[in-house]
Structure 1
Amino acid sequence: MSTFVAHKLINLMLDSLITSKTRLKLLIKFFVSASNQGYLRGLADEFQESTNAIRKELNQLEDAGYLEKKSEKNKILYRANTQHSLFKPLQKLIHTFLGIEDVVDQVLSRSGGVESVSLIGDYAKGLDSGLIEVIIFGENINQAYLLQLAAKVAEKLNKEIKLYFNINPQEGQRIILYTK
């Protein structure tokens, strides 16, 4: 089965299994990187959703054991439960959905001083439009390498990839994929 066909099947499967766009955004946020965490108001701002919608999904994901929470400075922080038996399969599914499978670690090690990577645009909204937009912040970033790699990945996924370096995102949703 080609990578393109597998990617399309994953997208169809996720869209049919996860009908809540808010839940999909939360799963992407927490499972793309085990170090990602967030609190209710921050997630509501990040996703431009009501705190009630975020709270409902966080509670359901925590009740199912996919997320864990801890109190820190009068805030409740949520993060993926890495001890859950489905953590690795879910993380792989999210990576496949985003088209980043096994390249994240390799990219970060070769791309210079990357401090953060954020997904913006349609994919941050949970929509598969065919355009993947990514903002990369950092110092001494190897832009040539990242642009070359983006072109290869775009061809492999049959999608367009736009990289932005050290810019502030416009109003809209974003999902932080990596922070140092």
Structure 2
Amino acid sequence: MNSKNTAYLRSLEEEFGESTNAIRLELNKFEKSGFLKSFAEGNKKVFTVNTQHPLFSDLNKIILKMVGLEYVIDYILQRIGDLEKVYLVGNLSKGQSTNIIDLVLVGNHLNKTFLIEQIEKAEKKIDKKIRYIHFTAEEFDLNKIKEPGMHPLLLWSKE
């Protein structure tokens, strides 16, 4: 659950390949329960996750555990050097089940030897393949990872 992402009904229809009516019903349930909040943007009703919901933190941790990302983030990415941001891209970022975790790492002076060792350990622990691409802060351009099919989700930020 990326708290910085927003979505509207038609974009979710395209992303999930479900009918707008089915998606609308689910969005309304989540909004009524307080997990989502909405606002008007022109003639669109835009949804975003409600980070103030008392269960947000717990649900976010559960989701990260389900896909094995909690281990990757907690035990690896915060210890590899001057890391600034980590994005999830690819199928998993689109909510599709996959055995591959694709990450974009943004930072300077990363300890790549340590990173590779830890990724290998994480892959064994979570039984998934982890692929990554690294950009220095100067090289990184968010537009590069917003290309079709990428669906970047900010998983971690130093800020």
> 2:65: which partner in 1?
96
The answer on 1:118 being equivalent to 2:88 is: yes
Cα deviation for residue 150 of structure 1 reads 1.7
Aligned-residue offset at 1:95: 1.0
Match of 2:4 in 1: 36
Unaligned runs of 5+ in 1: 1-28
Shift of 1:52: 3.6
* Unaligned 5+ runs, structure 2: none
> Structure 1 residues 73, 142: CA separation in 2 closer, same or farther (over 3 Å shift)?
farther
- The C-alpha deviation readout for 1:116-165, integer Å capped at 9, x for no partner, is 412313x23433332222222x2415151433322111011122111122
- Report the residue type matching 1:171 in the other structure: P
- For 1:71 and 1:119, the matched residues in 2 are separated by 28
Instruction: Give, in angstroms, the shift of residue 67 of structure 1.
Output: 1.1
Which secondary structure state, in structure 1, belongs to the residue aligned with residue 65 of structure 2? helix
**Greater helix content:** 1
Aligned partners of 1:60, 1:173: CA distance in 2, in Å?
28
Mean Cα displacement is larger for which, 97-106 or 145-154? 97-106
- CA displacement at 1:62 relative to structure 2: 1.2
User: Does the residue aligned with 1:142 lie in a helix, a strand or coil?
Assistant: coil
Q: Report the alpha carbon displacement of residue 112 of structure 1 after superposing the two structures with TM.
A: 1.7
State the match for 2:132 in structure 1. 163
Q: 1:67-146 maps to which residues of 2 (within 5 A)?
A: 67-70=36-39, 78-101=47-70, 103-105=72-74, 107-108=77-78, 110-121=80-91, 123-136=92-105, 138-140=106-108, 142=110, 144=112, 145-146=114-115
RMSD, aligned CA: 3.8
Deviation for aligned residue 1:91? 1.5
Kindly, what percent of the aligned residue pairs are identical?
Answer: 24
Relative contact order, higher structure (CA 8 A, sep 6+): 1
| Count, aligned residues | 146
Query: In the TM superposition, what whole-angstrom CA distance separates every residue of 1:91-134 from its partner, at most 9, and x where no partner exists?
Result: 1210111202255255246442423412313x234333322222
* 3-state SS of 1:115 partner: strand
The answer (yes or no) to whether the contact 1:120–1:133 under 8 Å persists in 2 is yes
TM-score if structure 2 supplies the norm length?
A: 0.64
Q: TM-score of the superposition, structure 1-length normalised? A: 0.58
